[in-house]
Structure 1
C-alpha cells in the first residue's frame, strides 16, 4: 500500500484547525475575554492617534482646545492603559495556547499510531517525527499570529473605518472599504500560490529529514564503513531540491510584499488628491479632518501590511498543520470486530496470500496451528517469515481465509487478538525509563514482587540485579545503556509477564550467546509448555524439539510434521 499524498483543501484545513481549537476545554472560557480585550485595545489605539492629532493641532494652529497639562495626561494615560490591556490579553492567550499545544501533541501522535502498518512504515519514524514537530510549531505560530496579531489588527481597522465614517467623511469610508476588498482578493490568489509551493517544499523537506534521521540512527555503521562523505553527499543532493523549492517560495513571498505595499498607497493618494481639490471628500479639507484621516490611514496601512505578512504566515501554518501525509490513509481500526479473550482450539490457513505494498510475498498457504503447538519457522531473508508473523498480529493484510477458533480472523477485533499474543521481536523495542518500567509495559498493574519472581524463574533476576541501579537502572533511549543481550532479556520477560495464550518470537535470541540462546529456547518447552509458540529460528540444532517446522521458500510455505522430513529439504533454507 502506498502512503497517502492527498492534502486537505484550504477550507478543509480551516475546518480541521477550528475543530482542534474549539474542542479544547478552555475555548468557551477564554473566547469572550479575548474578544473584549482586543476591542478595548483597538479602541485605545484610536484614542492614542486622536491625542497625537490634537497635539499636532496644538503646535500647528492657533486653536487651543485643551491645556498642555490635559494633553500630557491623555498622552501618558492612553498608551499605558492600552499596554495593560494587551498584557492581560497575552496572559490569557498564553494559557490557552499552551493547552492547545498539549492537546495537539497527543492528537497528532495518535493520528500516526492509528494508521495501519503499511502506511506507518511507508513514511518512516524520522519523517513522522519531523512532521509532528513541524505541525506543533505551526499550530503555536498560527494561534499567536491569528489571535495576537491578525484579530487585534482587524479589530483596529474596523474601529478606524468606523471613526472615518462618523467623524470624517462617510464617502471616504466607502472608498476605503472597497479598496480593502480589492486588496483582499489580490492577496487571496497570492496565498493560494504560496500554499501550493509550500506543500512542494514540505515534500522535499520531509525526505531530507528522514535522510538526516537515518544518518544519526546509523552512526555506528556509517563510521565503521567510513561512509561519512557518501552519506553527506546524498544528504546534500536532497538539500539541493529543498533549496530550489525554498527559492521559489521566497520569491512568491517577496512578490506578495511588493503587491501589498503598493495596493493601498497608490489608490489612496488619489483619494487625498480629490479631497485636496475639493472634488469629493470635502470634510477632509480641514486641518483636523485631514490630520486625523492621515494618521488613521497610515496606521491602517501599516496594519494591513502587517496583516498581509501575518496572513501569509497563517496560511503557511495551516498548510503545515494539515499536511499530515496521511490524509485518507487506511486506519488500523483495531477495535472493530468480535472480541475474543483466549485461544482455545486452532488457527487454520486456507489458500492464503500475503502481501507487502501490493506485492505478493507468499501464496497459497494451507496449514494449521493447534493450541499448544510449538512451531519453528525457517527460511532465507526476505522469504516472508516476518510477514507471516505480522499477519497473525494483524499488521499485514491478506487474501484468503484464516479461521481463528472457527471465526474468520478479519471478523475479530485486532485489539482483542493482539491482547492474547505475547510478541518478542528481534528489535526489542526498549523504551526510555527504568528496567522495571520496561518490564511492566506488558502488564502495568503487576506488582514488583511478582516481576522479581518471574525474573528468578526465567534466569534473569541476577542479570538485572547486577546492573548499577538494579531494576531501577535507566535503559536510555532505545535501550542505549543496555547490551544487546540485556535488551533481549527485557523483551523476553516482558512477553512472559503479559502471559498471552500465543507466544510469537521473531529471532529473539539473535544477540545472545549460545548458552543464553539454549536457555531461552528451553523455556518454551518447560515453563511455557502449555503456550502456543511460533518461533523464527536459524540454529538447526533446536529444530528437532518442535512439533512442526514451517519452511519458507520461493513464495511458498512447506509444512514438516517432524524433523526427519525437514532434513530432506534443509538445503532450501
Structure 2
C-alpha cells in the first residue's frame, strides 16, 4: 500500500525560501517535538496514578502524578507559545520574500507577457496565492506537531500492550485510503477554485475600471447576471470541495468511534482474563488511543487544507520562473546623447505565440530634430512600431539602430530615460499632482516642477484647486478631466526633458478647448526634440517633416504633407475624409 504523502514536487519549489530560514525551521521542529513530547507525557503518568496511587492507596504517588501533570502542562503551554511564534515568523517571512520577489519579477517581465494577462488574475497571484502559501507553511508546522503527538500516544499504547494496540489499529488502512482519495480530489478542487476566483476577480476589476461605460450603455443588468454566473460557479466549486472535506471528516469520525469501541471491548476482556493487565494499564491505553484522535483528525484536516492550496505554489512559481526576453546584453553600453538618426532596416515584428506579422519589412530613417507622423487605419501597426523604440518589444527580424548602434546593445534603462512618452490614455498614480509630475525626476525641485507645469499649460488650473500642487487626485486621476490629466502627463514629460519623444494619439480623446491647450503644451515639449507622432486628426500633423502612411503593418507612403497630397494616394484619401469630417462637425 502506498503511503500518504505531501506533494513534495510543490514544496520543492519553495526550497529557495526554506533554505533562507533553515536554522529557524530546524529550531522550530525541535520545539515542536519537545512540545509534543511534554504535552503527551501526562498520559504515561496515568498508570502510576491509578495502580500505585489509587489502587495502592498511596497519597505520595497521587501527589507525584498530579504535580508532574501540572508542571508538564505549564511547560507545554510555554513551548507551544514559542512554537506558534516561530511558525508565524517563518511563514510570514517567507510570505514577504515571495511577494517581494513576485513584485520584482513583474518589473522585469516583457510587455508581451502582460498583454495576455488579466489584472484580476495578476492581483490574485501577487496577493492571494502567497497568502495561501503562508497558510500551507503554518499548516505543515502544525501538522508535524500533530503527527508527533500521534506517534507519542501510539508509542505509549504499544509500550503498555503491543498486541492489544495492534489489534485495535486494524482499521488504520481505511483512514489512510480515505485521506489519499480525498486529498487528490481536494487538490483538483483547489486549482478549480483559484481559476474561478481569478475569473470573478478579473470581472470585478473590469467592472470598476469600466463603470462609466456600463452606466452609459445601461448594461447594469447584463453585468450583474454575468457576475452572478461567475459567483455561482465559485460557490459550486466551494460546495464540491466542502463535500469532499465532509466525507473525509465523517469517515474519520466514524473510524474514531469504531477504534474506541474495539479498544474498550478488547481492553475489557484483557482486564477480566489477564492478571498482568491492571486497571492502570486499561485507563492508560484508553487515554493514549483516545488522545490520538484529536491530533490525528487535525493532522488530516490540515493535510486536506494543504492539498486545496497546493496549486498556489505552482501559480506563483509560473511567475517567478518566467524569463524576460528583453534584457541587457553582455557588455551593453549606456545611452547618453542622441547624435544623428534612428533607422529601421527591414524590420519585421510578430508576437512570440503567433505566426502573423504585425509589421512587415519596415525601412525608415529619422534624423535628429525631425518630427515624424504615422497615419493609417486603426490596427495598422503604428503604436507597435513606436513601441519598438524604447524596447517595449524587440524586432523579430531586421534591425532598429540609434546613431548606428542596434538598440539591443544599449543598456535598457538609460535608453528609456532618454525617451519621453505621452500616450492617448494618460495614466496617473494615486497621490498628489506634485508627486505625479515629479515621477519622471524624483530629485526635481519645486521650482522646476512649477516651470514644467507652466509650459504644459497646467499651472493655472492646478493653482485654482483646493490644495494646489498637493491636491489628491484619486486613483488613476479620477478627480481630473481628460485635458487636465493630459497636461499633467505633459508636465511630467517636460520635467524629464527627453531627447526622443513619442506622442501616441495624445489629443484624440479631448474636446476642442482642451485640445488647443494640450496641443500648445505639446508644441513646447517638442521643441528641439526628435518626435514620433501618432494621430487620427491629420490637421495636427501637417507640419511634420515626414508623414509615414502605414496599412496592415507595411509602409505605403512617405513624404511631407504637400508631397503626399500631390501623390493622390492613400494619404490624400485619408486627409480628404478627415477634412470632410471636421467641416461637418
Q: Per the shorter chain, which TM-score range?
A: 0.7 to 0.9
Could you say if the C-alpha distance between residues 434 and 58 of structure 1 is closer, same or farther in structure 2, counting changes exceeding 3 Å?
farther
In the TM superposition, what is the alpha-carbon distance from 1:548 to its structure 2 partner? 0.9
In the TM superposition, what is the alpha-carbon distance from 1:230 to its structure 2 partner? 0.6
Could you say if the C-alpha distance between residues 299 and 137 of structure 1 is closer, same or farther in structure 2, counting changes exceeding 3 Å?
same
**1:158 is matched with which residue: 151, 154, 161?**
151
Judge conservation of contact 1:187–1:308 (CA < 8 Å) in 2: yes
Indicate whether 1:83 and 2:77 are aligned: yes
- State the alpha-carbon separation in 1 of the partners of residues 495 and 47 from structure 2: 78
Residue by residue over 1:253-288, the C-alpha shift from the partner in whole angstroms, topping out at 9 and shown as x without a partner, is: 233324444567657866776666569x97993322
In the TM superposition, what is the alpha-carbon distance from 1:307 to its structure 2 partner? 0.4
- State the alpha-carbon separation in 1 of the partners of residues 460 and 508 from structure 2: 21
- Specify the SS of the correspondent of 1:505: strand
- Specify the SS of the correspondent of 2:357: strand
- Specify the SS of the correspondent of 1:432: coil
Indicate whether 1:376 and 2:385 are aligned: no
- TM-score between the two structures when normalised by the length of structure 1: 0.86
In the TM superposition, what is the alpha-carbon distance from 1:547 to its structure 2 partner? 0.8
**2:469 is matched with which residue: 468, 471, 481?**
471
Indicate whether 1:444 and 2:442 are aligned: yes
Matches within 5 A, 1:348-359: 348-356=343-351, 358=354, 359=356
Indicate whether 1:227 and 2:227 are aligned: no
Indicate whether 1:293 and 2:270 are aligned: no
Residue by residue over 1:475-507, the C-alpha shift from the partner in whole angstroms, topping out at 9 and shown as x without a partner, is: 221112222222212211222222222111112
- State the alpha-carbon separation in 1 of the partners of residues 136 and 274 from structure 2: 42
- State the alpha-carbon separation in 2 of the partners of residues 123 and 89 from structure 1: 40
Indicate whether 1:93 and 2:87 are aligned: yes
Residue by residue over 1:181-214, the C-alpha shift from the partner in whole angstroms, topping out at 9 and shown as x without a partner, is: 8855653453233222322232232122211221
Judge conservation of contact 1:119–1:330 (CA < 8 Å) in 2: no
- State the alpha-carbon separation in 1 of the partners of residues 497 and 300 from structure 2: 60
In the TM superposition, what is the alpha-carbon distance from 1:157 to its structure 2 partner? 2.5
In the TM superposition, what is the alpha-carbon distance from 1:128 to its structure 2 partner? 1.0
**2:425 is matched with which residue: 424, 427, 431?**
427
- Specify the SS of the correspondent of 1:364: strand
Residue by residue over 1:423-456, the C-alpha shift from the partner in whole angstroms, topping out at 9 and shown as x without a partner, is: 2222222112222221222122222232223333
- Specify the SS of the correspondent of 1:285: coil
In the TM superposition, what is the alpha-carbon distance from 1:563 to its structure 2 partner? 0.3
Indicate whether 1:35 and 2:33 are aligned: no
- State the alpha-carbon separation in 2 of the partners of residues 109 and 177 from structure 1: 50
Residue by residue over 1:224-276, the C-alpha shift from the partner in whole angstroms, topping out at 9 and shown as x without a partner, is: 22111111112223334334433433333233324444567657866776666
Matches within 5 A, 1:515-530: 516-522=514-520, 526=524, 528-530=526-528
Counterpart of 1:5 in structure 2 is none
In the TM superposition, what is the alpha-carbon distance from 1:522 to its structure 2 partner? 4.6
In the TM superposition, what is the alpha-carbon distance from 1:294 to its structure 2 partner? 1.7
- State the alpha-carbon separation in 2 of the partners of residues 369 and 181 from structure 1: 77
Counterpart of 1:562 in structure 2 is 560
Aligned length: 559
- State the alpha-carbon separation in 2 of the partners of residues 393 and 10 from structure 1: 43
In the TM superposition, what is the alpha-carbon distance from 1:305 to its structure 2 partner? 1.1
Counterpart of 2:306 in structure 1 is 314
- State the alpha-carbon separation in 2 of the partners of residues 180 and 496 from structure 1: 74
- State the alpha-carbon separation in 2 of the partners of residues 248 and 490 from structure 1: 51
Judge conservation of contact 2:328–2:412 (CA < 8 Å) in 1: yes
Q: Which runs of 5+ in 1 are unaligned?
A: 1-8
Indicate whether 1:534 and 2:528 are aligned: no
- State the alpha-carbon separation in 1 of the partners of residues 401 and 169 from structure 2: 69
Could you say if the C-alpha distance between residues 396 and 333 of structure 1 is closer, same or farther in structure 2, counting changes exceeding 3 Å?
closer
Judge conservation of contact 2:51–2:278 (CA < 8 Å) in 1: no
Could you say if the C-alpha distance between residues 214 and 527 of structure 1 is closer, same or farther in structure 2, counting changes exceeding 3 Å?
closer
Residue by residue over 1:303-348, the C-alpha shift from the partner in whole angstroms, topping out at 9 and shown as x without a partner, is: 1111011011122222223324647645254334523313333332
- State the alpha-carbon separation in 1 of the partners of residues 161 and 257 from structure 2: 19
Counterpart of 2:188 in structure 1 is 196
- State the alpha-carbon separation in 1 of the partners of residues 172 and 367 from structure 2: 75
Indicate whether 1:211 and 2:208 are aligned: no
Q: Which runs of 5+ in 2 are unaligned?
A: 1-5, 576-585
- TM-score between the two structures when normalised by the length of structure 2: 0.84
- Specify the SS of the correspondent of 2:457: coil
- Specify the SS of the correspondent of 2:133: helix
Indicate whether 1:249 and 2:241 are aligned: yes
Judge conservation of contact 2:457–2:487 (CA < 8 Å) in 1: no
Judge conservation of contact 2:333–2:409 (CA < 8 Å) in 1: no
In the TM superposition, what is the alpha-carbon distance from 1:63 to its structure 2 partner? 4.6
- State the alpha-carbon separation in 2 of the partners of residues 66 and 540 from structure 1: 103
- State the alpha-carbon separation in 1 of the partners of residues 170 and 340 from structure 2: 77
Aligned CA-pair RMSD:
3.4
Judge conservation of contact 1:355–1:396 (CA < 8 Å) in 2: no
Residue by residue over 1:58-91, the C-alpha shift from the partner in whole angstroms, topping out at 9 and shown as x without a partner, is: 8974554646655554454433332233223333
- State the alpha-carbon separation in 2 of the partners of residues 158 and 81 from structure 1: 20
Could you say if the C-alpha distance between residues 184 and 22 of structure 1 is closer, same or farther in structure 2, counting changes exceeding 3 Å?
farther
**1:146 is matched with which residue: 137, 140, 158?**
140
In the TM superposition, what is the alpha-carbon distance from 1:411 to its structure 2 partner? 4.7
In the TM superposition, what is the alpha-carbon distance from 1:142 to its structure 2 partner? 1.9
Counterpart of 1:386 in structure 2 is 383
Indicate whether 1:454 and 2:452 are aligned: yes
- Specify the SS of the correspondent of 1:375: strand
Judge conservation of contact 2:455–2:521 (CA < 8 Å) in 1: no
- State the alpha-carbon separation in 2 of the partners of residues 183 and 119 from structure 1: 45
